[in-house]
Structure 1
Amino acid sequence: MSTWSNDELRRIAEADDLHISPFREDGKTYGTPTWIWSVAVGDALYVRAYNGRNSRWYQAALRQKAGRITAARMTKEVSFEPVEGPINARVDEAYRAKYRSSPYLAPMIGARARAATVKVVPRETRTFTEEKQP
Structure 2
Amino acid sequence: MGQLYARDLTTTDIVIEHATVLPPVSASRTGVRFNTYQAFAERVRLFENGLHCVGLWHTHPVSTPEPSMNDELLAANYARAAAEDLSGIVFVILGTKPFPQGIGVWFHDQKSLRRLTAEASR
Query: TM class by shorter-chain length?
Result: 0.3 to 0.5
Q: Which has the larger radius of gyration?
A: 1
Q: Which has the higher strand share?
A: 2
TM-score (norm 2): 0.34
Q: Which has the higher helix share?
A: 1
TM-score (norm 1): 0.31
